Structure 1
Amino acid sequence: MSFFGKNIKKIRSVKSLSQQAFAELFDLKRGTLGAYEEGRSEPKIDTIIKIANYFSIAIDKLLTDELTVNELLKFKGDLTTYAEDIKREQFAVIPCITESTAGEYISLYNKDNFVKELPTIQLPVNPAKKFRGYTVLNLEMTNHDQGFYPKDIVIGEEVPSNVIKKLNNGTLVVVLTDSKLIFRRLYITNNNVVLRADHKNIEDEEYPISEIKELWRVRYVFCKRIPEFADGMEDKLQMIEQELLRMKEKLR
C-alpha cells in the first residue's frame, strides 16, 4: 500500500497549502490531486519525482512510510519553516512616472489612488523616505553624446520646500510645477529656482520656490546603455605622461 496520498495531504497541512495551490506547483489538476490523496488514483513516476525533489524527501520515504509532522519539518527545501523566522529586508516600493503617465501626474500628483496605480520599482533604500521614479522623455540632459537619454530612469528623493534653498547648485532634480514636469539641474537665485539643461541649446526656466509643487533630488540612475565612466581619462593620462617626459628632457 502506498502512503503517497496521506503524505502529500500532510505536507499540504504543514505548509498551509490548498489543494489548488499544491496542484499548481506541479502542473496538476485539483481533482487529480484529490484523487491521489483519497487513494483513488496513483501518480505517474515523474510526478512523484517532482514532489520528492521539490521538498527534498526521499522517494521511498514518500511512498512507503507515513511521514510525521516532526519528520516533515526536518526536511530541507521549500517545506521547512525556518525562513519564516528570518527578518526579511524590506525594499522601498517606488512609484515611477512614465511617458504615458507624465501628463496625468501634473494634475493628479497628490491623489493617493493615482500614485498607487503607477508602475513601481523596488530598491534596497530606506523605506521610511519618500522617493519617486521618473522616466527621461527627451534629450535636454545630454551634452556631446554624454548624459541622459529617453527611457533612462532617475530616482529622486523628496525635498521639502523649506530645504530647497539648501541644495547645492548643479544638483540634478525632478521638479513639478503647475504645468510641467522638468528634469534638469537646479540653481538658486534669491527666492527663485533656475532649472538648467545640460544641452546648450535649451533655455533656462525660472520659477519662484513658492510655485514648486514637488521637488525630487536625484539619488539613483538607471541607464539603458553602459555609460562611458572613463570620460577621456586614458587620453588625459597620456598627455600627463608626455608632459613629464618633456620636463625630464629639459632637466638633462
Structure 2
Amino acid sequence: MCVTCGCSSNNNISLTKIDTGERKSIDKYSNKSIDDNSLSQFQNEHINYSQSTKDSENIINLEKKILQKNSSFAEQNRLFFRENNICSLNLVSSPGAGKTTLLTRTINDLKQYIPINVIEGDQETINDAKKIKETGCKVIQINTGAGCHLEALMVQQGYMELNPQPNSILMIENVGNLVCPALFDLGESAKIAILSITEGEDKPLKYPHMFRESKVMLLTKIDLLPYLDFNINQCLEYAKQVNPELDIFQVSSVTGEGLSAWYGWLKNHFVIH
C-alpha cells in the first residue's frame, strides 16, 4: 500500500501471459488470484480505515502493517531466488528513461550465455511486454491499474507463471516511478536505477531514497550528450553524494557504448557462463 498516494484503493491488478493472451486478476491482499469482480475482505477493511481515520499515528501503523505484509512475501521470493540461484534485478526509473530499450538490448546480447525471464510492470497496456517477447525470452505482464509500483506478491505471482529455471536471470521492470518502488522490497538481488540524461543531472538529489537503495545506476542515452545541456560530471557527483557505494555505468542502448561494462558487472556479481 502507498499511504501517500492512496494507490491501494484500486483492485484492477492483472497478470497477462503474453504467449497465450490469457489474463487474470491478482488480489494483492491474499495469496491467490481472484475473479475480476471480487474484492477481498482485507482490502475493504483497509480502504475504509484509511478513508475514515484522521489520526497520523493510525495512518503510520496502517502503513507499517502493509509494508510488513509485503516484506513477508519478499522474504519468500528471496528464498526462492536463493535456492534456485536466480539473479533477480528490479529495474526502476522515471517514465521514458529507456528501461525497455535497455532491457531488450541486454537480453539480446546475453541470452546466448544465460536464460533470462522478464516480469514487465506497467499501469496499463502490454506494449512493452510484446517488445520483450520479440527477443525470444519468456515474459509476463503485470498491469497495476491505478497502482504506482509493483509489490512482492505481484512478483511472486509473476515468477510462478514464468517458472524460471535455476541459474538464470529474472529482470523485473517496475512501473515508471522513482518514489514508491524505493519502499517496496520485492525480494530482488539488487535494484538497478536507470537515469536518462534527458531528465536533468540533479535527479539523484531529488529522489535520494531510490538511488540510496540501488546497487547500480545506469546513465542512459549518452549518445544524445552532444545535443543536450547536461553536466555529466555534476550528475555523477550528485549520485555519489547520495550513495558513495553506487556502481555507475554510462550507456547507450542505441550505439552499445558502455554496455560491456554493465555486462561485466553482471558477470562479476552473478555467474554468467
- State the TM bucket, normalised to the shorter chain: under 0.3
**TM-score normalised by structure 1 residue count:** 0.23
The structure, 1 or 2, with the larger RCO (C-alpha pairs under 8 Å, 6+ apart) is 2
- Bigger strand share: 1
